[in-house]
A and B are shown apart, each in its own frame.
Chain A
Amino acid sequence: SQQGEEDPQALSIQEGENATMNCSYKTSINNLQWYRQNSGRGLVHLILIRSNEREKHSGRLRVTLDTSKKSSSLLITASRAADTASYFCATAMNSGYSTLTFGKGTMLLVSP
């Protein structure tokens, strides 16, 4: 079964608004990562947060991790039409050799 589950499944906002996506997972993790996928393309890594971190920033992205609730959120501030894509969380359970397990993703539509 999928380790990560994103919600909402789809999100539609206007340019300039903030977008928040959530990810829940089931077992202990070493790190959690967020990826972006444009239609018909491969995934692109956005940001990684380790199990001993609570918050991380990268440009307009802000990621939080709550290991007690086994959940993470991705916030995109001041969204742009170019942010339209699907966003996936992925979890790695171990350090070293580890399979990255992906959720089903949140489809974000940013309208001009």
Chain B
Amino acid sequence: NAGVMQNPRHLVRRRGQEARLRCSPMKGHSHVYWYRQLPEEGLKFMVYLQKENIIDESGMPKERFSAEFPKEGPSILRIQQVVRGDSAAYFCASLEPTALNEKLFFGSGTQLSVL
């Protein structure tokens, strides 16, 4: 059973471009979280999704950021018109539908660098 897969591992964008980060949860997991981590800091919650449904997006900026988790395919975190301040590691995590609010399984993250 493959773990949580994130790609790309590293993403370089110039200011104003779009960044698309992908996350495939573990098999059988229908809930996905996205977190953002700045150097030397903890994880900041962004959004919590179930397939075809956003459960909690209170941590996601209203402008430029969006997330989806379609019925088929990976979850996508999309950042439009990136700025230098968006540079960070973005982590996706999934959990079992029968174990809500319990053990999260994390991917290895996408390191976004904005030039």
* Complex interface bits, A63-106 against B, C-beta within 8 A gives 1, otherwise 0: 00000000000000000000000001010101111111111110
**Contact assessment for A42 and B109 in the assembled complex, using a CB-CB cutoff below 8 Å:** yes
B101-115: which have CB < 8 Å to A? 101-109
Partner of A44, one of B43, B102, B106: B106
B80-94: which have CB < 8 Å to A? 91, 93
**Contact assessment for B45 and A100 in the assembled complex, using a CB-CB cutoff below 8 Å:** yes
* Complex interface bits, A1-26 against B, C-beta within 8 A gives 1, otherwise 0: 01000000000000000000000000
**Contact assessment for A88 and B103 in the assembled complex, using a CB-CB cutoff below 8 Å:** no
Partner of A33, one of B56, B58, B91, B103: B103
Partner of B104, one of A45, A96, A105: A45
**Contact assessment for B104 and A100 in the assembled complex, using a CB-CB cutoff below 8 Å:** yes
- Kindly state the interface size class of chain A when it binds its partner: 20 to 34
Chain B, residue nearest A44 (CB): B106
**Contact assessment for B56 and A99 in the assembled complex, using a CB-CB cutoff below 8 Å:** yes
Residues of B within 8 A of A97 (CB): 48, 55-56, 100-101
- Kindly state the interface size class of chain B when it binds its partner: 20 to 34
Residues of B within 8 A of A88 (CB): 42-43
B42-95: which have CB < 8 Å to A? 42-45, 48, 55-56, 58-59, 91, 93
Name the distance in Å between A40's Cβ and chain B's nearest Cβ: 8
Partner of A100, one of B4, B33, B55: B33
Partner of B108, one of A31, A42, A92, A98: A42
Which of the listed residues A31, A94, A97 has the most CB atoms from chain B within 10 Å of its own CB? A97
**Contact assessment for B101 and A31 in the assembled complex, using a CB-CB cutoff below 8 Å:** yes
* Complex interface bits, A24-61 against B, C-beta within 8 A gives 1, otherwise 0: 00000011010100001111110010000000000000
**Contact assessment for A31 and B102 in the assembled complex, using a CB-CB cutoff below 8 Å:** yes
22 A-B residue pairings within 8 Å (CB atoms): A2-B42, A30-B101, A40-B109, A41-B108, A42-B4, A42-B93, A43-B91, A44-B106, A92-B101, A92-B102, A95-B100, A98-B101, A99-B33, A99-B56, A99-B58, A99-B59, A100-B101, A102-B42, A102-B43, A102-B44, A105-B41, A105-B42
